[in-house]
Structure 1
């Protein structure tokens, strides 16, 4: 799959993105309208919303924001692939896209946060596989017994090869 299928989100994509969220159970799709509204109305927004398109339909969603009070550090708050398309390399293509976009913009670091729960074992393995390091664990962050695991990756200069 090619990164050319990955693009920034437009209002046209909203209903399809809600289907992605419902399928992946990342978070309730009814939250999307509020979460993305500033991105659409604020020309100065540094939020990055991106999607993977297949046959003119969004089948994945990504959301990345700058970390306040840092120089060039971003946090990937959300990445989801429609359940019917998981395990086909789309998540990796999405990560390549955001890493390349940030690298070309001179950004330095990308963080990703996830849960320690067993149902996220594959998620954590995915981040390890694509070069992220579990840098911190915050105990009982999401809930009792549900730790936040923070992954870190130093972005490469545009002269270095991704993966």
Structure 2
């Protein structure tokens, strides 16, 4: 069973989240997290997806919601699902959970910098590409938006 919850910055679950993001998003690109980078997440909404089996619970997916300068818009960042569980609907469920949190916080638009290879996944969930392809962390991305109201 998969459950979702908001994580506390600096907690054990947060450390597991950083490790998952590092493994799925950073190491394949030869990147690591700096302490300064992680400290910027202290006021973000940190979302974890947890899988429970035989009374053992482990973090299997995550994302971050970061406020933007536009008070109506929040940015989804650092979306990751454990490689052994990708393709099983966990990513979709994380997005739906994050959208509901954003709506509850009165945001009208959820935006993201989606990796080009993941753009189709987000399009199936109602996101639209806004602008031209750009490079971030050395790979192609698109800015994508979804209206939440």
State the TM-score, normalized to the length of structure 1.
0.74
| Structure 2 gap segments, 5+ residues each | none
Match of 2:33 among 31, 34, 41: 31
- Structure 1 vs Structure 2 CA RMSD: 2.4
- Counterpart of 1:74? 74
Query: Equivalent of 2:136, from 122, 131, 142?
Result: 142
Equivalent residue, structure 1, for 2:62: 61
- Give yes or no for contact 1:51–1:62 (8 Å, CA) kept in 2: yes
Could you say which residue in structure 2 is the equivalent of 1:155? 148
Structure 1 stretches lacking a partner, 5+ long = 157-163
Q: Which secondary structure state, in structure 1, belongs to the residue aligned with residue 97 of structure 2?
A: helix
Deviation for aligned residue 1:77:
1.8
Aligned residue pair count: 140
Cα distance between partner residues in 2 of 1:105 and 1:81: 24
Change beyond 3 A, Cα 1:51–1:32: farther
Report if the CA contact (8 A) 1:137-1:147 is conserved.
Answer: no
